[in-house]
Amino acid sequence: MPRKYCPPEGQAIQAFTFALDPTDEQSAQISRFFGASQGL
């Protein structure tokens, strides 16, 4: 089991999560960029 990360004293961890809502054309471009197959 991996060890849990504990930041040094006095430091904090901050993270962000983003949701994407692409158009059909943007979705196709994203798929091509990352090498995904459209499965046509």
The helix/strand/coil state of 3 is coil
For residue 26, the model assigns a pLDDT of 93
pLDDT band at 37 (very low <50, low <70, confident <90, very high): low
Cβ count within 10 A of residue 28: 13
State how far Cα 28 lies from the chain centre: 17
More confident residue, 9 or 37: 9
Span 1-32, pLDDT tens digits = 778 888 899 999 899 999 989 999 999 898 88
The structure tokens 């196709």 sit at 28
Residue 6 is predicted with a pLDDT of: 87
Q: Evaluate if residue 40 carries a pLDDT over 60.
A: no
pTM flag (> 0.85): no
